[in-house]
Amino acid sequence: MSKPKALLDQNNKAPTLSKREHEILLLVANQLTMSEIAAKLFISRGTVETHRRNIMNKLAVKNTAGLMIKSIYLNLVTINSKGEVDFNTPINGYMKT
The CATH number of whichever domain residue 34 belongs to comes to 1.10.10.10
Which pTM was predicted?
A: 0.79
Is residue 58 within 8 A of residue 15, CB to CB? The reply is: yes
Can you point out the beta strands (E) in the chain?
Answer: none
Residue 87 lies in a domain: no
Residue 83 lies in a domain: no
Is residue 29 within 8 A of residue 68, CB to CB? The reply is: yes
Burial of 87 (0-12, 13-18, 19+ CB in 10 A): middle
User: Hey, what amino acid is at 85?
Assistant: V
> Tens digit of pLDDT for each residue in 29-66?
999 999 999 999 999 999 999 999 999 999 999 999 99
Count of structural domains, the chain: 1
Residue 36 lies in a domain: yes
Give the residue-averaged pLDDT of 64-93. Answer: 84
Which residue segment(s) compose the domain that 57 sits in? 17-73
Residue 97 lies in a domain: no
Residue 24 lies in a domain: yes
Q: DSSP label at 64?
A: H
